[in-house]
């Protein structure tokens, strides 16, 4: 049913915000990642803005976008994935609500390089198509999603390879349910097929931050060995003000592998870096004193001890820790599956560079 009055538009904006907070509380949306939209009529839809946290959303921040040419009303910038939403609305006239998330297990399943995930939810078989990879925010990504939606007209949940999910519904309840059941089904798939049953999250070890140029440790009993790592990071990275030590099961597991991580997910490349090395005992290095601290890499692994996630704010450092944990689950799943699709160096570098530039501009705007 088309939205025709100002009151209905306001209610739709409030519904989008309510859904975003529901998904945020369920752990399917984090920070500004992902987006939500609702059809207005055959020519337009409402969508969440770009770069604003879900908990900070207000109805006047929800943007009205033209389905055909992607033009939009007002001064607020709509989500960069508006073309994906428009493509889905064009292909599926029955769809009235769309949820795009970077939810953990579905995103990880989308790194395995397979065309569809065959799994189950509550003893019911599920087929989850995987749209081929393309850089985020591009027309090619929208075309790939449209192709998948066209090929599977009876399916409401899709994975965008190495990126996230698109969940469709006649209304918000259907779209949200699809996101939730996809996450359960993909967790089942990773457990059964990849033998990867790991809880997502941040298990904090020894954190610290700077106050007036001095390092303040969250735990007074922080070991000397760990303090040396913090000191090295702050010395080599003057932009860093906070360090979150993530010792989750997935991150610790990767910290034992003595190699390096190539990005499997877009948000990993954007937020953490395009190549993250893990220290080893090779060439006489003891693994405890050798650490790869680089300007544009926001995670520093310690052998068998997780990783130190850095940022200019606590929120930034925690975001790195969250994305790193998901990236490590994906990495372990690919290793145990025996194959996967890694992002190319050029794709990762391009996304990382674009993200840093966009983030700097956003930070400047907020500071004024």
Kindly compute the dihedral angle of the four CA atoms of residues 63, 66, 70, 76, in this order, to the nearest 10 degrees. Answer: -20
Domain boundaries defined on the chain:
6-193, 208-367
Give the pLDDT band (50/70/90) at residue 282: low
Ranking 25-29, 233-237, 238-242 by mean pLDDT, the lowest is 25-29
- Position 285 scores a pLDDT of 52
pLDDT of residue 365: 42
213 pLDDT tier (thresholds 50, 70, 90): very high
What pLDDT was estimated at residue 265? 96
Between CA 291 and CA 297 the distance in angstroms is: 12
pLDDT of res. 368: 35
pLDDT level of residue 1 (50, 70, 90 thresholds) = low
**Two domains, one topology: 6-193 and 208-367:** yes
Indicate the DSSP class of residue 209. E
Is 48 in contact with 100 (CB distance < 8 Å)? no
| The token pair that represents 105 in the structure block | 């297990």
Per-residue pLDDT, averaged over 316-331, amounts to 96
Mean pLDDT of 31-41: 89
Mean predicted lDDT score pLDDT of the chain: 91
Among 191-195, 261-265, 353-357, which stretch is predicted with the lowest mean pLDDT?
A: 353-357
**Residue 281: predicted pLDDT:** 58
**How many CA atoms lie less than 13 Å away from 89 in the CB half-sphere?**
27
Mean pLDDT of 203-219: 97
Second CATH level (architecture) for the domain 208-367: 3-Layer(aba) Sandwich (3.40)
Distance CA 176, CA 86 (A): 18
Inform me whether the pLDDT recorded for 104 exceeds 90.
Answer: yes
Topology (CATH level 3) of domain 6-193: L-fuculose-1-phosphate Aldolase (3.40.225)
Count of positions (residues) in the chain: 368
Question: CA 178: distance to chain centroid?
Answer: 18
Choice among 47-56, 152-161, 217-226 with the minimum mean pLDDT:
47-56
State the pTM of this model: 0.93
In this model, does residue 342 exceed pLDDT 70?
yes
Answer whether residue 286 shows pLDDT above 80. no
Q: How many CB atoms lie within 10 A of CB 136?
A: 21
Are the C-beta atoms of 285 and 279 separated by less than 8 Å? Answer: yes
pLDDT for the residue numbered 366: 45
| 224-244: average pLDDT | 96
Q: What is the pLDDT of residues 244-278, one digit of tens each?
A: 999 999 999 999 875 788 999 999 999 999 889 88
């Amino acid at each position: 049913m088309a939205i025709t009055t100002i009151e209905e538009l306001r209610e739709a904006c409030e519904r989008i915000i309510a859904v975003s907070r529901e998904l945020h509380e369920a752990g399917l949306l984090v920070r500004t990642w992902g987006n939500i939209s609702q059809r207005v009529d055959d020519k337009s839809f409402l969508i969440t803005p770009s770069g604003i946290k879900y908990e900070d959303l207000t109805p006047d921040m929800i943007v009205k976008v033209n389905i055909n040419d992607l033009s939009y009303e007002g001064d607020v910038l709509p989500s960069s994935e508006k073309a994906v939403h428009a493509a889905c609305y064009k292909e599926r006239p029955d769809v009235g609500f769309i949820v795009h998330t970077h939810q953990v297990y579905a995103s990880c399943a989308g790194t395995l390089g397979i065309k569809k995930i065959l799994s189950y939810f509550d003893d019911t078989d599920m087929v989850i198509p995987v749209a081929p990879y393309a850089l985020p925010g591009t027309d090619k990504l929208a075309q790939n999603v449209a192709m998948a939606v066209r090929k599977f007209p009876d399916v409401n949940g899709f994975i965008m390879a190495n990126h996230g999910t698109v969940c469709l519904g006649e209304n918000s309840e259907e779209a949200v349910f699809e996101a939730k059941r996809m996450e359960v089904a993909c967790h089942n798939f990773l457990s059964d097929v990849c033998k990867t049953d790991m809880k997502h999250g941040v298990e904090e070890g020894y954190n610290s931050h700077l106050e007036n140029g001095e390092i303040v440790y969250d735990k007074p009993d922080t070991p000397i060995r760990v303090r040396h790592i913090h000191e090295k990071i702050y010395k080599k990275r003057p932009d860093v003000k906070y360090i979150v030590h993530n010792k989750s099961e997935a991150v610790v597991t990767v910290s034992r592998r003595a190699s390096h991580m190539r990005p499997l997910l877009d948000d990993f490349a954007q937020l953490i870096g395009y190549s993250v090395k893990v220290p080893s005992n090779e060439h006489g290095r003891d693994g405890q004193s050798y650490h790869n601290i680089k300007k544009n890499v926001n995670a520093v692994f310690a052998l068998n001890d997780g990783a130190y996630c850095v940022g200019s704010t606590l929120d930034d450092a925690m975001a790195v820790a969250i994305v790193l944990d998901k990236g490590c689950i994906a990495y372990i799943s690919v290793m145990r599956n025996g194959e996967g699709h890694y992002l190319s160096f050029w794709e990762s570098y391009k996304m990382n560079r674009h993200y840093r530039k966009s983030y700097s501009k956003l930070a400047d705007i907020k500071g004024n």
